[in-house]
Amino acid sequence: MEEDFDNFSSSPVQKGKSKIKGLSDFLLIVRDRWLLAIALSLPCALLWVFYKQQAPDKFQSSCSFSLTPPPAILNLQSVERESHLEGLISRHTEGLNSEKLRINVAHQLDNNPQYKSVLLGPFLKQGVRVGIASAYSYRITQAGSKSRPRFIITSDARSALGAKYVADVVQKEYEKLHKSTKNEKVEFVKQTLEDLLDTSLGKEKKIAADMANYKKEHNLPFLEDEKRDTGDRKSQFSSEVTKSRLEQIRINSLLRQILAIKTRIGSNSNSVSSKDIKDDIAVIKEFFEIDAIEQFGNIPALRQTLYDLEKTRRDYEETGSGYLERHPKMLENARSVQQVKSALRQSVTSAIEDLRDKHIQLSAQEKEFADEMEKVQKQSEQLSEIEETLKNFERELAVVQRSTDSIHSRLNDVNIEQALPSEQDEPLRVDSVAYEPGGPYAPDKNRIREEGMMIFAVLFILIPVCLEFIDNRVKSPWDIEVFVGNDLIGGIPKISEVEERERPLIVGNDLDDGLTEAFRSMYSRIQMNSHTDYPKLILVTSAIPSEGKSLISANLAYSCANHGRKTILVDFDLRRPGLHKFCNLENSKGLLSLVNEVGQKG
């Protein structure tokens, strides 16, 4: 068996070198197994092509709608126009893909004998019974520009006429569904708005009735008048309380003055001296300066009496040389002054008691006014709560009224829209009708052939590579490094140009300089890499016959001998030894005979 080492470097492989196969190694792998790869990949590719071409013929037809927005949308700004168009597109896309449309199409096809026979005919010819829904399919795609979108209905069936029928029925059924849906939607919206209007009006009546009942419950037909009356009463009571408090403050001040003067009157003795009498008169006059005392009881008479006594006493003092203090008339005058003083003290005491009673009355009056004002304050707080509740009613009523007005306006718009001609608000138009296809679109034979060629190419490469990873035989330097785990010492180039019977004598007869040099290099590398002393033993072996053991061993032995080494070449092939033939020797005794002789001698 010839060994191929065209791409092998004669230098030893260094430790740590990458052991990943390169592109050239894979090409060699494919080259070595190309016949097997063709034998396996070609049938697989042909079977694939045959299987795909056995698929039944499928036909395809199409029709389309165009969406032409009305001027009301086209005249809008760019952003608003796109928003309206997106709404129209999404609505029609949803309708064309709706389950209701599919049910209507299936029902229409099933109820038409002509459509049904055309669609189910190809299946019945093959002896297959299917339902009408399984005999066809269709899909919706969108095309065209943003301002003029198109909806394309593409149908698939086992016959050309069936594909046309399906596309045509889908187009017609959607037109019906769209119109009926639009009318139903308008009626539904109208009924909904009417219901909402009735509900809103009912809420208005209920809120108004609640307000009236609330006012009647609190006996407040006119809240503003009640608030004004309460405010007036509150002001009056507050004014009266203030007056009472001021009067009490005034009385307290008078009482303090009177008590102070009274204390001074009481502190003076009953002396009849002129000085004491004058002091008493001066103190008594202070009482007369107080308005509350001046006009109380008999104080005016006492005042007049005191003035007369004071005048008489002054006359006594000024008459002639004047009366002395112990003069009978002066004593009589002093006693009269003391009597007036005593009477005045009693009157002042009565006045004080009267002021105190008046103070008590004012306190009671203040308390009554304060209580009344507190009641008015509570009534005012209640009125505030009532007012807030009524304001809530009014706000709620205003909200409901605005909602009622909005619903009523929208209901009028719907009525006007319903009365307008439908063409002005119908942007969906039939763009193209269904046609009968001229031939099937599937199976696509060109594509099947391309797929078959691709499968063949992939398998042609993949099979040899997979077999290479499964095969653990050593056939290349890379295999030596991977499976054996050692670096390659040397290799022999291609020897196919040397005759097979002369190959073991390449070195011995110098048949090829390149090959001879390769064996010499192998000998040199063995010498450099071997650390064993002479004599050395070299074993040349392989797993199966005809792998070049005799060729390598004979030429390596010649190389060793040419370098002056004593060399013995032993053929250990126990079944078919052949080294003696290359050396033109006879082999009368085999290796086993020699072993037996040695054993017998031993």
Tokens of 25: 């190694």
Residue tagged 């707080």 (tokens): 381
Residue 455 has pLDDT above 60, yes or no: yes
CB 345 within 8 A of CB 262: yes
Q: CA 458, CA 44: separation in Å to the nearest integer? A: 11
How many helices, marked H, and strands, marked E, lie in the chain?
18, 4
Q: Which residues contact 5 (CB under 8 A, 6 or more apart)?
A: 477, 491, 492, 493, 494
- Which distant-in-sequence residues (6+ apart) come within 8 Å of 214 by Cβ? 386, 389, 390, 393
7-11, 491-495, 512-516: least confidently modelled range: 7-11
Residue 319: band (very low, low, confident or very high) from pLDDT cuts 50, 70, 90: low
pLDDT tens digits for range 212-246: 887 777 776 676 777 777 777 778 878 888 888 88
pLDDT at 309: 67
The pLDDT tens digits for 482-494 are: 667 777 777 787 7
Output the pLDDT for position 17.
43
Is 479's pLDDT higher than 60? yes
**Single-letter amino acid, residue 587:** N
pTM: 0.44
CA dist 588 and 124 (Å) reads: 84
Cβ(183)–Cβ(386) below 8 Å: no
pLDDT at 76 over 70: no
505-514: average pLDDT = 83
Distance, CA of 533 to chain centre: 81
Sequence-distant (6+) residues with CB within 8 A of 43 are: none
Angstrom CA distances, 93 to 98, 150, 172, 282, 474, stand at: 8, 10, 16, 118, 66
The pLDDT value given to residue 584: 76
Mean of pLDDT values over 102-108: 91
* Cis-peptide into 12, omega within 30 deg: no
Range name among 4-8, 119-123, 319-323, 468-472 with the lowest pLDDT average: 4-8
User: φ, ψ for residue 587 (rounded to 5)?
Assistant: -120, 75
Name the token pair of 317.
Answer: 């003092």
Mean residue pLDDT across the chain:
77
The yes-or-no verdict on residue 43 having pLDDT over 90 is: yes
**Range scoring the smallest mean pLDDT among 144-158, 255-269, 367-381, 534-548:** 255-269
Q: What is the mean pLDDT of residues 396-421?
A: 80
Determine the CATH number of domain 489-601.
3.40.50.300
Q: Give the pLDDT band of residue 69 (cuts 50, 70, 90).
A: low
Which of 159-168, 314-323, 586-595 is predicted with the least confidence, judged by mean pLDDT?
314-323
**Secondary structure (3-state) at 518:** helix
Q: What is the pLDDT of residue 528?
A: 84
The Cα 571–Cα 591 span in angstroms is 8
Across 30-44, 84-98, 229-243, 457-471, least confident range = 229-243
Give Rg (Cα) of the chain.
68
Strands 149-157 and 136-144, by their bridges, are: antiparallel
Q: Is 195 exposed, middle or buried (0-12, 13-18, 19+ CB in 10 A)?
A: exposed
φ, ψ at 62 (rounded to 5°): -150, 155
Give, as one character, the DSSP assignment of residue 431: E
pLDDT in tens, 195-215: 888 888 888 888 888 888 877
Quick one: which of 511, 508, 506 has its CA closest to 548? 506
Helix (H, G, I), strand (E, B), or coil: what is residue 151? strand
The answer to whether residues 362 and 247 touch, using CB atoms and an 8 Å cutoff, is: yes
Gap between the Cα atoms of 154 and 41, Å rounded: 38
Least confident piece of the model among 140-154, 174-188, 273-287, 584-598: 273-287
Contact call for residues 62 and 167 (beta carbons, < 8 A) = yes
Peptide bond into 300 cis (omega under 30): no
The predicted pLDDT at position 81 comes to 59
The predicted structure's pLDDT at residue 216? 78
| Contact predicate 193/417, CB 8 Å | no
The residues with which 152 forms a beta bridge, in sequence order, are: 64, 141
Neighbours of 350 (CB within 10 A): 14
- Nearest residue to 537 via CA among 568, 564, 558: 568
Query: Would you place residue 287 in the very low, low, confident or very high pLDDT band (cuts 50, 70, 90)?
Result: low
Q: Comparing 268-282, 313-327, 395-409, 529-543, which segment has the lowest mean pLDDT?
A: 268-282
3-state SS string for 301-340: HHHHHHHHHHHHHHHHHHCCCCCCCCCHHHHHHHHHHHHH
* Predicted pLDDT at 510: 81
Mean pLDDT of 467-486: 71
Q: What percent of the chain has pLDDT over 90?
A: 12
pLDDT at position 45 is: 92
Tokens linked to 66: 């165009």
Q: What integer pLDDT is reported at residue 565 of this predicted model? A: 84
Segment 346-402, tens digit of pLDDT? 766 777 777 777 778 878 887 887 887 788 777 777 777 777 887 888 888 888 888
Total residues belonging to the chain: 602
pLDDT at 157: 92
Domain borders along the chain are 59-190, 224-417, 489-601
The angle subtended at Cα 418 by Cα 417 and Cα 419, nearest 5°, is 90
**DSSP state letter for 147:** S
pLDDT of amino acid 74: 46
Q: Give ∠ CA 529-530-534 in degrees, rounded to 5.
A: 150
Least confident of 104-113, 370-379, 553-562: 370-379
Interior CA angle at 560 toward 559 and 563, to 5°? 90
Q: What is the CATH number of domain 59-190?
A: 3.30.1890
- Which of 203-217, 327-341, 436-450 shows the lowest per-residue confidence on average (mean pLDDT)? 327-341
User: What is the residue-wise DSSP string for 183-252?
Assistant: HHHHHHHHHHHHHHHHHHHHHHHHHHHHHHHHHHHTT-S-HHHHHHHHHHHHHHHHHHHHHHHHHHHHHH
Q: Is the pLDDT of residue 433 over 70?
A: yes
Do the domains 489-601 and 59-190 match in fold? no
Predicted local distance difference test score (pLDDT) of residue 512: 82
- For residue 44, count other CB atoms closer than 10 A to its CB: 15
